[in-house]
Structure 1
Amino acid sequence: MKYYIIAGEASGDLHGSNLIREIKQRDPAANIRCWGGDLMSAAGGMLVKHYAELAFMGFIEVIANLRTIFRNIDFCKEDITKFQPDAIIFIDYPGFNLRIAKWAKEKNYTTIYYISPQVWAWKENRVKAIKRDIDKMLVILPFELEFYKKWNYPVEYVGHPLVEVIENFIKTHDNIHAQDNIIALLPGSRKQEILKKLPVMLSLSSEFPEYEFVVAKAPGQPDDFYTPLLAPFPNVSSVRNDTYSLLMKSRGALVTSGTATLETALFGVPEVVCYKGSSISYQIAKRLIKVKYISLVNLIMDRLIVKELIQDDLNISNLRTELKRVLEDGPERNRIKKDYAELKAILQEGGNASAHAAQSICLFMQSVSASSIV
């Protein structure tokens, strides 16, 4: 089978790489062409476009880069047409992927979505396009089953892929031990979000001299991007392509919203969630986004597990207060750890997500192939 996989962010590259490995286990002859990153390439996908060229954050930033986005869409359609895949697999990244899915369905390609767009958070009407354009939807969050059920759209829950990723990492790195003096800073993967949030995080380093602040650099951003940001803080260090080792060592973390909040929780590190965008983008998002929380940890548990500092609330004073709370031994830190254990148990119910997804995709493609012969 020939598969064309499209992921547009670092998390999509991670999950896409594990999906590629699992597909190749079941179909060693699989020919996979992809948009993603270094991990998907290393797993055996032929990389067409790196996600570092694709990631734009916020409404204003997207508008400013519309010409580039439309060029990428046109190029993607041309590349798919040349490759003629048996199936196109979309991994999250809805702004781009749903446009390609509409075109792909019109061209009679088989379409599969792995990791649903967050239509439950905003622009719920997109479900209509998903029902029209996606032949099979695989979801990774338990509450998404009920969400799609109310739209009369059958989806399959495969579990969350981060559970086995992190469990495997911990098992193979049992020589790494937690330290009492390290605070991890995970400011995101996109330039715009890093520039907004990292300076606020860094400004706190002088107020906690007994701790070592360590920045996890995004794989898609070069070292010289971070150099001017880190230069005023000689007591702050950084790591590249080693975020999981950093989290295993850390006592606490300051984390941007997104997949990183869940990764931090699955490593059992008490965290403060940080979000700050451009003023206009934030005001637009505030009016459109329907969910109670911005972190996956709180969304999955449907209650406040970790503190979220959003926009104007993300300031030095608030960040200092909340970081102290998660670092100090006591009821708050113990509660967070207990809630993390409950979260992990919920996500483990789906089993090995990557293997489950690959098996489901391969069986689905067999049925599609059989029906086309008949």
Structure 2
Amino acid sequence: GREVVNPVQRKDSLGLSEKPVIALLPGSRKQEISSMLPVMLKAVQKKKDYQVVIAAAPSQDRSFYEDLIGNAQVEIVEGRTYDLLEVADAALVTSGTATLETALFKVPEVVCYKGSWMSYWIARQLVKVNYISLVNLIMDKEVVTELIQGEMNPRRVEKELDLCLKGGHRKELLENYDDLIEKLGGIGASDNAADIIAEEVGL
């Protein structure tokens, strides 16, 4: 049970303005962040009506992110990803557990993955699944858009992000999130996710 805090107060505690928020969750490992974050930053560079905020991994120094950001108008939040998701209007998320966490906070998201073609090919041979995000695996359908390898380019990411920010796709996503939470047995029941995924992929 997280305490209920006014969104404006939450933003203020994070050092953010009252503008709507696009959260970037580029992963936790140096290699994936270096690969994902530049594409994410290009995709959001025209979003002047929003404040773009990176959820920094505790394992990485702030200077590492600052080098990747350069002159981009972006905020960095360290060690408070859940607080950031509380106030986010949409998110770009590297595939992993963060995709499920983002959904449980009811934040419309685009799931992104870009790695070496060799490691991606090997992974696809080893694990025969239709999706890479936990949300889609659990629901056994495409709830959130997955942009993988070549599809994970600035233009395509921006297009899918726009759909998350307004309109019918956003509404449909949020309704699917309600179904997801119900399937997991309520908010905070992400412990059930592993069992459901194992069942879906036949483990």
TM-score, normalization by structure 1: 0.47
Q: Which ranges of structure 2 fall in alignment gaps of 5 or more residues?
A: 12-17, 192-203
Residue in 1 that maps onto 2:162: 324
**CA spacing shift, 1:345–1:278, aligned 2, 3 Å:** same
Alignment of 1:172-251 (within 5 A): 172-176=3-7, 181-233=20-72, 235-251=73-89
Contact 2:44-2:158 at 8 Å conserved across structures: no
The residue type equivalent to 2:45 in the other structure is S
Are residue 307 (structure 1) and residue 130 (structure 2) matched? no
Residue in 1 that maps onto 2:196: none
Alignment of 1:124-143 (within 5 A): none
Residue in 1 that maps onto 2:111: 273
CA distance in 1 between partners of 2:161 and 2:32 (Å): 20
Deviation string 1:124-174 (CA, Å, 9 cap, x unpaired) is xxxxxxxxxxxxxxxxxxxxxxxxxxxxxxxxxxxxxxxxxxxx22xx142
Contact 1:176-1:245 at 8 Å conserved across structures: no
**SS of alignment partner, residue 128 of structure 2:** coil
Alignment of 1:32-47 (within 5 A): none
Residue in 1 that maps onto 2:132: 294
TM-score, normalization by structure 2: 0.84
State, as a whole percentage, how many aligned pairs show the same letter: 49
**CA spacing shift, 1:311–1:352, aligned 2, 3 Å:** closer
Contact 2:23-2:52 at 8 Å conserved across structures: yes
Deviation string 1:232-283 (CA, Å, 9 cap, x unpaired) is 31x1111001111111111100001111001110110000000011122122
Superposition CA RMSD, Å: 2.0
Contact 1:180-1:251 at 8 Å conserved across structures: no
Deviation at 1:353, TM superposition (A): 7.4
Instruction: Give the aligned length.
Output: 183
Residue in 1 that maps onto 2:198: none
Deviation at 1:203, TM superposition (A): 1.1
Deviation at 1:320, TM superposition (A): 1.1
Q: Which has the higher contact order (CA 8 A, sep 6+)?
A: 2
Deviation at 1:350, TM superposition (A): 10
CA distance in 1 between partners of 2:120 and 2:55 (Å): 25
Q: Which has the larger radius of gyration?
A: 1
**CA spacing shift, 1:343–1:225, aligned 2, 3 Å:** same
Contact 1:180-1:250 at 8 Å conserved across structures: no
**CA spacing shift, 1:185–1:175, aligned 2, 3 Å:** same
Residue in 2 that maps onto 1:108: none
